[in-house]
């Protein structure tokens, strides 16, 4: 799988991060540590040379030989000591080796070091490190005076082997433990990435099942982390898709049944009308029933179209400032013929002040038509209907109430479900209230229902 694998890429990234951190530590710590240890060595050498240098100055004043001065200073300090004579000639001030406590010293080291030249030039102590054939050494150069003038330069030198050993030890430990940390990081990254990749693969398999229409495998959130929350969201999506699939199948089955009934009825009436022996009165009755079935079929088709648009989110709202009382009067006038056939009257009750809200008047009118039609269909002839508008607690409402037989308590939780009809209800497809409730929700409102043995009230509540 190579680097296309998530676990391999994560392991490589972890390894590169740790390797970068190790290199950064190595390049920043080792040189600084080496410099600090060398400076500490030079400072320690300067402290050790202070006493022997003062003694050398005294012996020079007493006329001691160069060899004696260098050897005593070396014995007291425990380091190599070189004594250089300072002379002035045609080539200026020059230093020449006068004595060296190291008898087997290389002739090349007779050249005065930089610190000696600096001490001779400035007349003050100088310190530093210098390269030699056997490696870099620490040096302290101290001027010796005769009658106030610099006559000689005493150089104390000590090897940096202990410094180099310490630096090498620390360098080796950094490399060793860095490699161990790198291996541990790569291994940990690999196993962590492997676990994450396993969880991702399970999500991938579940997604493929969902894509194939299989919603039977729930996704469990193993941990409360990003992938866990993703699994929870995926599981919620899967449940919603399963419900949607079930609803779609139920919708298709119920819609097919509801459409088939009036279509078969129309076919039957047409066959009966084809009988030439029918009398005029019977023929007129059949034609009247045909019209009723056509009206029912047209209403059902429109309701199915509205419900489909609502479920797909294709319904577009066009809000504008609307007077609810005026809208209620206008919609009620549309039902004048139906109210006369039903023998019912509508009482419109309005508050003293105008109730204006920002809403889609066409959709509010559609909800009101459904509620009034529902009151006419499900109540006995002559049942009065009341339409009330008002405003309360920052909400506007328009209510339709009737004094029919009411809605049974066990039916109330289901009245807004699509295609739900009561057992004793032979009219309608059970879509009106479902559409009205969905429209109310799309307008950021709600549709409430209350029913007693004497009164049923449906209330459209909208934000004011």
> For the domain that residue 119 is a member of, what is the CATH number?
3.30.450.20
Which of 247, 280, 311 is the C-terminal boundary of a domain?
311
The domain that holds 449 is classified in CATH as: 3.30.565.10
Residue 119 lies in a domain: yes
Question: DSSP character for 109?
Answer: G
Q: What is the mean pLDDT of residues 80-89?
A: 88
Which of 311, 337, 372 is the C-terminal boundary of a domain?
311
Higher-pLDDT residue of 244 and 344 is 344
Tell me how many degrees the CA angle 177-179-185 measures, rounded to the nearest 5: 100
Q: How many residues does the structure list for the chain? A: 464
How many independent structural domains does the chain possess? 3
- Gap between the Cα atoms of 99 and 248, Å rounded: 108
Task: Please check the confidence at residue 175 and state whether its pLDDT lies above 50.
Answer: yes
The domain that holds 259 is classified in CATH as: 1.10.287.130
Residues 135 and 235 in one domain: no
Higher-pLDDT residue of 369 and 239 is 369
Residue 214 lies in a domain: no
pLDDT, position 259: 67
Reference 12, options 217, 182, 224; nearest CA is 182
* Residue 347 CB burial class (10 angstroms; 0-12, 13-18, ≥19): exposed
Q: 134 Cβ partners below 8 Å, 6+ apart?
A: 159
Residues 156 and 272 in one domain: no
Residue 171 lies in a domain: no
Residues 8 and 92 in one domain: yes
Choice among 121-125, 233-237, 251-255, 321-325 with the minimum mean pLDDT: 251-255
Higher-pLDDT residue of 407 and 279 is 407
Round to the nearest angstrom and report the end-to-end CA distance of the chain: 61
Residues 266 and 328 in one domain: no
Residues 75 and 129 in one domain: yes
Residue 138 lies in a domain: yes
Two structure tokens written together for 149: 């003038």
Q: pTM for the full model?
A: 0.45
Residues 365 and 303 in one domain: no
Residues 9 and 126 in one domain: yes
Q: What is the mean pLDDT of residues 175-194?
A: 80
Two structure tokens written together for 423: 């057992």
- Gap between the Cα atoms of 231 and 206, Å rounded: 10
Choice among 151-155, 190-194, 298-302 with the minimum mean pLDDT: 298-302
Residue 433 lies in a domain: yes
Task: Please check the confidence at residue 190 and state whether its pLDDT lies above 70.
Answer: yes
pLDDT confidence tier of residue 423, bands split at 50, 70 and 90: very low
Distances (CA, A) of 286 to 165, 254, 296, 341, 415: 115, 27, 15, 20, 33
What is the maximum alpha-carbon separation in the chain? 163
- Gap between the Cα atoms of 45 and 156, Å rounded: 8
In this prediction, what percent of the chain has a pLDDT beyond 70?
81
Residues 12 and 139 in one domain: yes
pLDDT confidence tier of residue 426, bands split at 50, 70 and 90: very low
Which of 259, 277, 311 is the C-terminal boundary of a domain?
311
Residues 379 and 418 in one domain: yes
Residue 265 lies in a domain: yes
Tens-place pLDDT, residues 240-280: 777 667 666 666 666 665 666 567 667 776 776 776 667 77
- Gap between the Cα atoms of 14 and 20, Å rounded: 10
In this prediction, what percent of the chain has a pLDDT beyond 90?
20
Residue 175 lies in a domain: no
Residues 388 and 459 in one domain: yes
pLDDT, position 429: 55
Question: Which residues are paired to 392 by β-bridges?
Answer: 395
Domain extent, residue 124, equals: 2-101+108-164
What's the sign of the alpha-carbon dihedral 210, 211, 214, 217? negative
Residues 449 and 323 in one domain: yes
Q: 80 Cβ partners below 8 Å, 6+ apart?
A: 74, 100, 101, 102, 105, 156, 157, 158
Two structure tokens written together for 93: 């001030």
Choice among 69-73, 168-172, 284-288, 427-431 with the minimum mean pLDDT: 427-431
Contact 29, 212 (CB under 8 A): no
Residues 293 and 394 in one domain: no
What ranges in 313-456 are assigned the alpha helix state H?
324-334, 336-342, 361-377, 432-442
Q: What is the mean pLDDT of residues 104-131?
A: 80
Residue 411 lies in a domain: yes
- Gap between the Cα atoms of 421 and 430, Å rounded: 5
């Amino acid at each position: 799988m190579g680097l296309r694998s998530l676990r391999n890429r994560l392991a490589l990234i972890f390894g590169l991060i740790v390797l970068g951190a190790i290199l950064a530590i190595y390049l920043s710590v080792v040189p600084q540590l080496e410099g600090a240890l060398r400076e500490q060595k030079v400072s320690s050498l300067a402290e050790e040379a202070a006493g022997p240098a003062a003694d050398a100055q005294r012996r020079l004043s007493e006329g001691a030989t160069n060899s004696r001065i260098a050897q005593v200073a070396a014995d007291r300090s425990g380091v190599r000591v070189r004594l250089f004579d300072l002379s002035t000639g045609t080539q200026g001030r020059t230093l020449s080796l006068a004595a060296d406590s190291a008898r087997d010293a290389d002739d090349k080291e007779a050249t005065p070091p930089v610190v000696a030249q600096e001490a001779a030039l400035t007349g003050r102590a100088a310190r530093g490190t210098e390269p030699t054939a056997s490696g870099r050494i620490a040096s302290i150069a101290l001027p010796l005076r005769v009658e106030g003038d610099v006559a000689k330069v005493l150089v104390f030198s000590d090897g940096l082997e202990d410094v180099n050993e310490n630096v090498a030890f620390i360098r080796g430990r950094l490399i060793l433990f860095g490699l161990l940390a790198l291996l541990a990081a790569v291994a940990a990254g690999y196993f962590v990435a492997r676990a994450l990749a396993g969880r991702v693969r399970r999500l991938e398999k579940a997604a493929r099942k969902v894509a194939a229409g299989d919603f039977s495998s729930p996704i469990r959130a193993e941990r409360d982390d990003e992938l866990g929350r993703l699994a929870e969201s995926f599981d919620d999506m899967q449940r919603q898709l399963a419900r949607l699939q079930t609803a779609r199948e139920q919708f298709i089955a119920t819609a097919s049944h509801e459409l088939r009934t009036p279509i078969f009825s129309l076919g039957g009436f047409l066959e009966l009308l084809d009988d030439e022996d029918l009398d005029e009165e019977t023929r007129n009755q059949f034609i009247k029933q045909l019209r009723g079935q056509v009206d029912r079929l047209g209403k059902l088709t429109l309701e199915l179209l509205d419900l489909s648009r609502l479920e797909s989110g294709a319904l577009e709202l066009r809000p504008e400032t609307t007077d609810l009382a005026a809208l209620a009067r206008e919609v009620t006038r549309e039902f004048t013929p139906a109210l006369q056939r039903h023998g019912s009257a509508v009482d419109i009750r309005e508050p003293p002040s105008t109730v204006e809200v920002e809403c889609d008047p066409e959709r509010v009118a559609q909800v009101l038509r459904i509620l009034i039609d529902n009151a006419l269909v499900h109540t006995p002839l002559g049942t009065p209907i009341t339409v009330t508008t008002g405003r309360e607690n920052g909400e506007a409402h328009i209510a339709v109430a009737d004094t029919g037989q009411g809605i049974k308590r066990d039916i109330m939780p289901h009245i807004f479900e699509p295609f739900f009809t009561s057992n004793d209800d032979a009219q309608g497809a059970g879509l009106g209230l479902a559409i009205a409730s969905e429209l109310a929700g799309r307008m950021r409102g709600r549709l409430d229902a209350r029913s007693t043995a004497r009164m049923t009230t449906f209330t459209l509540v909208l934000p004011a």
